[in-house]
Amino acid sequence: MDIPMQNKLADRIKLREESVRTRMLNIAGKLDDVIALGRGDPDLPTPAHIVEAGQRALANGATHYTHPMGMPILREAIGETLADVDGLNYAIDEIVVTTGAQEAVFAAMLACVNPGDEVIVPAPGYTSYDQAIELAGGVPVPVATYEADDFALTAAAVAAKLSPRTKMLCLLNPSNPTGAVTPPSEVEALAALAVEHDLIVISDEIYARLVYDGAEVLPVARLPGMKERTITINGFSKAYAMTGWRVGYFATSPGLVKALTEVHHGLTICAPAVSQHAALAALQGPQDCVAAMREIYDQRRKVMCRALDEMGLSYGKPAGAFYVYANVSKTGLPASEFCVRLLEDAQVMIFPGSLFGDHNDNFIRISLLQPVERLEQAIQRMAKTVTALVGS
Ligand SMILES: Cc1ncc(COP(=O)(O)O)c(C=O)c1O
């Protein structure tokens, strides 16, 4: 059906197939008591001391622009965190506070990608990357990751996709939607590839504070020859349950920082002042709130993995983030149909992997963002639907 004015859109705009998400949201709107395991927005509140810092900042007049790169005192605190927690050494003028990590992704692509440049992205992945690459005129080149490897990205798979047009490699470590942590040995091999082929690397470490079972995230910029070619992206949304504050950051080398800062300034001028004050409190305050949230997600992860085992559904064991990426092909339905069935029959909302680039439509991304009691309720409902489809 022709929609008036749609033919006026710029060629660079690719309208994505959103029909499953839209269909599910429409169905959910007519149902009661839907248990939402769809979005990536923590159900836990922003810790009180961070909220209070934001309130104090507003009362004290933090209602104006800040320095475009972010308040110096916040960039200093970010620099200290990057050094102490991640082992990365960035000077204050190599760090830029952005309106969420999301803005950093778009600033990076717009500043670095030329029309026709290829950018390697893990698949399944966080499709905002594809969107940002395409907006910049680039070509996303998906590199498949597999359930059998717990969806870890491998340097061998990346090497097979490199071409003379490859400009950039994107690492999501840990990954959305799979929760995979790239093993340090693979990070090293990927870094070697990046140096050999002179690639820019984006290392999105927004889930790096949320890892389990002793998994280690190796920040790629720590490796020899990597700081100059890496754009490290991180933020506050996930670790501190601060999605609505819209504050994140990137850190990169002098060669890249100026151009990315220009794009950032053009997009948003600066991150919200009040949120920068809250972010400062997050970094300077006690870190046990992060540990406590990690514990909660870990408990939920164990509950969900056990339940999937009992349902006979396989998954890639997540070592990070707060998702489980599960294979529902056993139910005989494409994952997108399974999700609609689950919503209609059991009032549980989970999004299919097709929203994250799973073209075979076999997987679902379960967000662990409900209290355990509610998760257990969702599991009971889900088990009934699965049993009805698979047979007991
Ligand atoms: C891998 C990844 N990067 C970036 C973002 C954006 O985060 P922010 O809320 O900081 O913009 C998300 C959000 O889900 C994400 O999953």
Q: What is the pLDDT of residue 263?
A: 98
Q: Residue 172 CA: which ligand 1 atom is closest?
A: 1
1 within domain boundaries: no
Q: What is the pLDDT of residue 1?
A: 63
Distance CA 228, CA 254 (A): 8
Q: Report how far ligand 1's centroid is from the alpha carbon of 151 (Å).
A: 19
Q: Are residues 151 and 262 in the same domain?
A: yes
Q: What is the pLDDT of residue 307?
A: 98
Contact 320 CB / ligand 1 (< 6 Å): no
Q: What is the pLDDT of residue 3?
A: 86
Q: What is the pLDDT of residue 284?
A: 98
Q: Report how far ligand 1's centroid is from the alpha carbon of 11 (Å).
A: 26
Q: What is the pLDDT of residue 391?
A: 82
Q: Are residues 231 and 278 in the same domain?
A: yes
Q: Are residues 73 and 220 in the same domain?
A: yes
Q: Are residues 251 and 293 in the same domain?
A: no
Q: What is the pLDDT of residue 359?
A: 83
End position of a domain, from candidates 284, 301, 317: 284
Residue 183 structure tokens? 């093993």
Distance CA 338, CA 34 (A): 16
Contact 323 CB / ligand 1 (< 6 Å): no
Q: Residue 243 CA: which ligand 1 atom is closest?
A: 9
Q: Are residues 144 and 173 in the same domain?
A: yes
pLDDT tens-digit series, residues 102-146: 999 999 999 999 999 999 999 999 999 999 999 999 999 999 999
Q: Are residues 78 and 200 in the same domain?
A: yes
Q: What is the pLDDT of residue 21?
A: 86
Q: Looking at ligand 1, which residue's alpha carbon is closest to its atom 14?
A: 40
Q: Which of 78, 102, 151, 170 for a ligand 1 pocket mutation test, highest count of atoms within 8 Å of Cβ?
A: 102
Q: 3-class SS at 365?
A: strand
Distance CA 355, CA 130 (A): 12
End position of a domain, from candidates 234, 266, 284: 284
- 342 strand-pairing partners: none
DSSP code, position 47: P
Contact 279 CB / ligand 1 (< 6 Å): no
Question: Residues 369, 376, 36, 327: is their CA dihedral positive or negative?
Answer: positive
Contact 124 CB / ligand 1 (< 6 Å): no
Distance CA 96, CA 248 (A): 9
Q: Are residues 95 and 139 in the same domain?
A: yes
Distance CA 325, CA 279 (A): 30
End position of a domain, from candidates 284, 306, 323: 284
226 within domain boundaries: yes
Q: What is the pLDDT of residue 17?
A: 64
Q: What is the pLDDT of residue 392?
A: 59
Distance CA 241, CA 337 (A): 31
Q: Looking at ligand 1, which residue's alpha carbon is closest to its atom 6?
A: 102
Q: What is the pLDDT of residue 142?
A: 97
Q: What is the pLDDT of residue 123?
A: 97
Contact 284 CB / ligand 1 (< 6 Å): no
Whether the CB-CB separation of 29 and 257 falls below 8 Å is answered with no
Cβ atoms within 10 Å of 215's Cβ, excluding its own:
17
Q: Residue 248 CA: which ligand 1 atom is closest?
A: 10
Close Cβ partners of 39 (under 8 Å, ≥ 6 residues apart)? 367, 369
Residue ranges of the chain with pLDDT lower than 70? 1, 16-18, 392
Question: Residues 14, 178, 121, 144: is their CA dihedral positive or negative?
Answer: negative
241: left (phi over 0), alpha (psi -120 to 50) or beta: left
156 within domain boundaries: yes
Contact 101 CB / ligand 1 (< 6 Å): yes
- Residue 386 belongs to domain with CATH number: 3.90.1150.10
Q: Report how far ligand 1's centroid is from the alpha carbon of 102 (Å).
A: 6
What residue numbers bound the domain in which 14 lies? 6-45+289-390
Q: Are residues 220 and 365 in the same domain?
A: no
The structural domain count of the chain equals: 2
Q: Are residues 273 and 299 in the same domain?
A: no
Q: Are residues 205 and 78 in the same domain?
A: yes
